[in-house]
Amino acid sequence: MRHRICLRIVSTVLNTKMRSHTYIDSLGSARMMARALDGKALAKEIKDELKIKIHNWINAGHRAPSLRCIIVGQDPASHTYVKNKIAAATEIGIEAQTIKYDATLTEEALIAAIELLNNDKTVDGILVQLPLPNSIDERRVCNAVAPEKDVDGFHITNVGQLCLDMPTIVPATALAVIEMLKRFKIDTFGRNAVVVGRSKNVGLPIAMMLHSDKNHDSGLGMDATVTICHRHTPPAQLELHCRNADIIITATGVPKLIKADMIKPGATIIDVGITRITDEQGKTKLVGDVDYDEVVKVAGAVTPVPGGVGPMTVAMLMHNTFQAAQKIWQQ
């Protein structure tokens, strides 16, 4: 008994101080913890690669790639996201500016502003930070961005091309998930993948690439067997689908939706959820959809929140912006 208590103390010290990859279970046995997939470190690697490519691009006589971020209203989370994007862009040699409007801006005025940027030859990438105020039709606004400058990949043409496995601009969050699976060497070929959440900008493009044929033109297919679960999937069914999954991608914004008893031992869990919560001390913090502290004991690999998919989303937006800059030059 004393032996077990000692082990538990040692494991607690290791886990908190040294980030051990093992923990001691309730019977006193040492168990492996899942690999934490460090999105922040991978995002830095990708930004460093892009920084070199952009440097070479400019040295070859091109102007710096340029990005415009339009933000409407005062939502603090949206302002944080835009700041993250401008900082990342500036750091790697992309010329980036924020264009801020009051929440009272009309849909017509927003579309007029987008059209000015569409016609500006010194602008390569345009994004409109979502969500927009309820008075503005997001679909109409996304379709107003010139498809070749649509670095968010939300234009109807870019969505259609993605669905047809054609080369296109892919939404950054979906590209972030796919890039993490590739760079962390998570095998998807013929595996069972579950996507939890069916949003048009996140769940749909992820599910689309996961199930698609790698041999098709886009080269982004992952050849997995994909199940899409959503708010009308009964909880018992969600559990069954998840327990059968080799890979779970969750993007719901429901904290602790994905629990340890829903995980196949060794599975890979990618947490796209971001929810701001206030803890007991009144501090706000970010949490994902995954009950991380428990899931990490069963899964083979899991992305943390913060520091998982979020930073990778920003890195892949930079990838999209450089891609847009190169395509425009070829025309």
The nearest distance, CB 159 to ligand BQF, in angstroms, is 17
The nearest distance, CB 287 to ligand BQF, in angstroms, is 10
Q: Tell me which DSSP letter residue 148 carries.
A: G
Q: Which of residues 99 and 286 has its CB atom nearest to ligand BQF in the complex?
A: 286
CA distance from start to end of the chain: 73
Instruction: Calculate the CA dihedral of residues 163, 167, 169, 173 and round it to 10 degrees.
Output: 60
Q: Give the pairing type, strands 22-24 and 30-32.
A: antiparallel
Residue nearest to ligand BQF (CB): 310
Give phi and psi for 10, each to the nearest 5: -60, -45
Helix (H, G, I), strand (E, B) or coil at 284: strand
Q: Is 152 a catalytic residue?
A: yes
Pick the catalytic residue from 47, 85, 149, 165: 85
Pick the catalytic residue from 38, 124, 150, 152: 152
Q: Is 85 a catalytic residue?
A: yes
Give phi and psi for 97, each to the nearest 5: -135, 145
Q: Which of residues 84 and 225 has its CB atom nearest to ligand BQF in the complex?
A: 84
Give the residue from 47, 81, 70 showing the smallest Cα distance to 310. 81
Pick the catalytic residue from 124, 129, 161, 323: 129
Q: Which residues bind ligand BQF (CB under 6 A)?
A: 81, 84, 130, 274, 286, 305-307, 310-311, 313-314
Q: Is 330 a catalytic residue?
A: no
Q: Give the pairing type, strands 35-36 and 301-302.
A: parallel
Question: Residue 326, class by beta-carbon neighbours within 10 Å (0-12 exposed, 13-18 middle, 19+ buried)?
Answer: middle
Is 251 within 8 Å of 195 (Cβ atoms)? yes
Query: Which residues are part of the catalytic machinery?
Result: 85, 129, 152
